[in-house]
Homo-oligomer: A and B are copies of this chain.
Amino acid sequence: MSDTAHRARPQNDPALLPPAIAAAARLADSTLEALLPRPAGRQARVQEAMRYAVMGGGKRLRPFLVLHAARLFAVPESQALRVGAAIECLHTYSLVHDDLPCMDDDDLRRGRPTTHIAFDEMTAVLAGDALLTFAFEILADPATHAHADVRCALIARLAEASGHSGMIGGQVIDMLAPSFIKEGSFGVDDVIELQRKKTGQLFEFSCEAGPILAQAGAEDRARLKAYAEEMGVVFQITDDLLDVTSTPEKTGKAVGKDAGMGKQTLVTLLGLEGARAEARRRAAKAVEALGPHAARAPELSGLPFFLLDRDA
């Protein structure tokens, strides 16, 4: 990178990101390790499966977002980490159920056998259910925030982001997409809307949690939400690019599945170069959305550009 380019966007330096992501992942991991139930009694098997699914590595991108958005508003780290843990439990449940034979039927996740392979289908269904339930249990606990109003706001927003019109809605649209495609009515905007629900809403909640915890104003919350929306598109495009260009060794999961399943993505619709250009455009918009916070949160500003370069 030339000096000029470096000066032009000092806060968008992707080199900042790997150590920052690793540091947040360590914090997220130790929080999850402490919070997740210890296997005990005759129901130990489902608690083992919960831990297996959650503690299987993962980049912990959502806790990273919670942490850095929360720092902008001087939220105590312990609060941000609890919310990050709740989101990670919820995200993991969606992966466990998504991997089931009746859903995407995946054997590999984060480089290890998926939960229904390592245990069995019944245990995977129940462990997913238990992780979803546990996410709300973490948020309802006074340790997450002294004010119950704030805890309820977090719970309401997480339920909305992950429910029938949010993440689950996105999963349903994804599963029905082949029939929409056949009807000839599924273009770029539809793919963006699908992905915003399926993965974007949880990113949005991750970024809004900080301002919610700080009881910040609506403008701040809107900025973080808009950042997350653009960043989510970058994440999704680069994820779809990896499905075309990467290997299972690098991503820790099956690749080439989108083409095999006839899925429509921004990569299939815009082509490799068109999709990359759209991702770059969205990365810039994400930083713009942060407004005055961009310079104060180089980790958030740098993330979309880091995603553009990722190979896993």
List chain A positions with a Cβ less than 8 A from chain B.
37, 41-43, 45-47, 50, 93, 97, 100-103, 120-123, 125-126, 128-130, 132-134, 136-137, 139-142, 147-149, 151-152, 155-156, 159-160, 162-165, 168-173, 175-176, 180, 190, 194, 197
Identical copies of this chain, number: 2
Tell me whether A126 and B43 are in contact (CB under 8 A): no
Interface centre among A45, A121, A168, by most chain B C-beta atoms within 10 angstroms, is A168
In the complex formed, the residue of B with least CB distance to A190 is B42
Tell me whether B141 and A37 are in contact (CB under 8 A): no
Q: Among B126, B148, B151, B160, point to the contact of A168 (Cβ < 8 A).
A: B126
CA distance A259 to B20 in the complex (A): 57
List of B residues within 8 angstroms of A170 by Cβ: 43
List of B residues within 8 angstroms of A126 by Cβ: 97, 168, 171-172
Tell me whether A168 and B46 are in contact (CB under 8 A): yes
Given contacts A43-B165, A134-B159, A140-B156, 5 further A-B contacts (CB under 8 A): A43-B173, A100-B102, A101-B102, A133-B159, A133-B168
